[in-house]
Structure 1
């Protein structure tokens, strides 16, 4: 009979020690679960693909638009998810707060009955039957506290996990807001460079990069004299105009072009302008996809390389472009629907 009470004492005290240590040990924060990285920001964080020389601007604009709408939809979905998670956080916190006093109360009872007083509680029982009853009572108390502790830990973990998911949603939403802004800026910039509706998107998304024209010692495009032979008319042009002419040719625009022209206003008599025709000879208004796209692509090359070449302005298809103001309607003597005009600094 001596072994039996000793065995019950060990069984009763073991969970009590474990539970008491659990109650008073410092709680470690629950680690956040990894967030879902397969979202819009992963595929939308990159800028539109502008590496393809054969891609049209309309393709880039479509891709930009789709990514913009995808990010917008993700933001709307994320806002709803955040509301749902906020409710779940409140519910988990309420459950945790409800369990805290219950666990504290049971832990206090065990603390008061713990240690040597527990042995006294068991050994002072009258007879074997009383000892067994008290051992069972203590074991049930331990089991009850174990369950409450488990519920409390689960509640605390749920609060941590839900808050981590909410933080991830907030971060994801911020990324999508930035992505929307980036896509909008990319579309605005792409359209601004080629005159918005001027080309209808029927223009190469990228242009070749021109070699930069020489600048003066101050880094500026200073005035130049018309003292270089014009390869198009036999007149004279500036060295900067010749450089622009050569770069446009290297970029693949090899149809008819005329630069110097005697008389008249503006830059032609000064050797600082060229008219790039859409035809192999002479001038004719654009009348098919080939001539329209040739004019669009040539205009885009000049505008995109304006700072590198020292371009003053470009006129094409009833529109004029200045570096300082972008595109606006042009109402000069020529509609410039049959050629692209470029004037140099």
Structure 2
């Protein structure tokens, strides 16, 4: 009887464990966003590539537009200076043609007085040096003008090339979304976020520098990229402090690369239900903040409440998997360049 009595707790423990496994009682992982698989993984990979290339092209375009403005301003100044120097050169040439330009021979023949001759020679040397300097400046300024015209043409050509890249990647992102059942027009999307950040560093051509998973992830034991860490910290500074999870191993997409974070609408955890009330308002405000600061931070896309925001086309519908996590009803997904 003692042996049988001792086995009862073990049997009850087994039955309880079995029951929990069957009905899924108190399973917090059910609400945890998982790394997309199958078709959605393919969509995410296509979005990652298309939006990254779009952002880099947009950065190069913006840099080229700024370069064009600066060159145009310089070119105006240079053209004015060329005009002034050409007028001076014309006066010098006209004087030489009419024989009115002082020469060393004229000075030597004009006087027998040595002091007068020396003074005249000094004057001639000064004037010849001055004239030669002006003519040299004219030649150099003309070269500068031609180089500026060349640089201006290159800037315009670069802009046209970047616009083509942007258009190509915009279409690629739209096609990927459509294949997954999204990409349609949507209404009621979050807007009106406030810019609270400063621009992150870029390459000299305006594109974003490549980054790896090199920083400790404050939300897990994994790693994230410097730009992702900066975005996470800036979101915290802006008041978005609800439960967040960034790095996840395995699969594809940006989480294993340390370039994505999931910001729960709920303050303490991922809830396996559609966010409503204050939680939904929090998610709306956070998504709007991400978009307002997208250029400064280097955002590739934002997913929230079965919608996706991309820099190329704004808010579109998102094809999820029918669950609160898969449809992004319970968290804001932020993917970084």
Structures share a fold, TM > 0.5? no
**TM-score normalised by L of structure 2:** 0.42
Higher relative contact order (CA 8 A, sep 6+): 2
**TM-score normalised by L of structure 1:** 0.41
